[in-house]
Structure formats: structure tokens, C-alpha cells
Amino acid sequence: MRIIDISHPVGAGVGVWPGDERFALEWTLSQDRGDSVNVAAVTLSVHTGTHADGPHHVLRHGARARDLPLQAFIGRALVVDMRGAAVMDERVIEGVAIEPGVRVLFRQRESVDPRDFPTNFLAPTPALARRLVALGVPLVGTDAPSMDPFDSKSLETHRVFAEAGVMTLENLFLVDVSPGEYTLVALPLALVDADSSPVRAVLIDDEAVRQSFSG
């Protein structure tokens, strides 16, 4: 079994959306100071690094992180390589066999520096989002930091997915991942009131595991 970590490391200097809460860590207990244990406390935006966008991010009465359907974040996933595309529209899935129930993860970036926050990236058009909803996809992921363009105010693609109950993952680390089918595990934290949640996302490259999630 091969497990591929597709999560951004989260630490000092990690890039965040401009104006969002930056990551900070402090040691509340430290053996270097004579304490019996080491205990860290962190401050961060729930959109730091690799994360699940919950419906409440864009919908006033949308589900919050604790209530996201966990089954959407575990199961068969298809990595689609769209490097070189000029627009992230329906053409990026032409010729791609997408079965109902299979999660779709889009790779567009050649390299990633977690310290940098890119503002020039492709985002799914609302038409592509509606097509994926119609195909019965339970989750869509991207290695970009958003499902909408950086300067979007309407966040239409976010809303298409949220209103249809399709979960989304953003800021995946797919640089070393080949296109094809895997098993995804990317569970959000049970944050009671938060709109979204960081995740530790992995892909499992094992046929037996994929078969166990064939449903």
C-alpha cells in the first residue's frame, strides 16, 4: 500500500489569503522551561493550508464543519491532470470517465511553495461545477487556493457546489501525483461553529482498498 500525503505543511510563514489570520504557534508548557511536558497552542484561519470549505462559508444557513458528511471525504477519487489548460471549463473533463460517486481532484500546478499565496490560478467555471454536480460527484478538490477566481466577489462556483451538497477541498498538494484513480481520505475536524476546517489529506494507491470503496 502506498500512501501519498497531499496536504500542505502548516507552520510559520505559511501563505494565507491576503488579510486572513496568519498561523502562529506558542509553547504554553515547555520542558526547556522546567515543565514536565511540551504543549503547543496554535492560532490559524480554518482556511490555512489544505482545507475543506463548508457550505456555511458562502451560505448563511449552510452546514458547518462539524456537520459535514464524512462519507464525502473518504472513498474513490480521480486525479485529473489539467496542466496547460487556459480555462478550467467543461473541456478539462472531456474524455474523462467520471462515474457517479467518484470524487474528482484537479491538478494544475507544476510546483508549490507553501510560503507563497498564489493569486493567478484557474478556478472551475460555474458551468463545469454544474456538470460535475450532474455527474453525481460528491466532492471536488483543487490544488488552487479557491474554487473561484482570486478577485471573485459572487463566489458563484462555491455556491453551485454548496447548494448541491457537493463538498470541496482547496489547496491540495498534487505536485507528485500522477493522474488516475486512488482512495481519498481527507477528514475535516469536528469544529462546532466554524464554516470550514483544515484537513490532513492523503491518497491511497492500492487496488484492494479501492475495491473496498467501490460503492
Which residues does the annotation mark as catalytic? 57
SS3 at position 208 = helix
Q: Are 194 and 53 in contact (CB under 8 A)?
A: no
Span between the terminal Cα atoms of the chain, in Å: 20
- For the record, the C-alpha cell of 203 comes out as 491518497
What is the rounded distance in angstroms from the CA atom of residue 199 to the CA atom of residue 46? Answer: 9
Question: Directed axis angle between helix 156-164 and helix 126-134, to 10°?
Answer: 10
Parallel, antiparallel, or unpaired: how do β-strands 39-43 and 24-29 relate? antiparallel
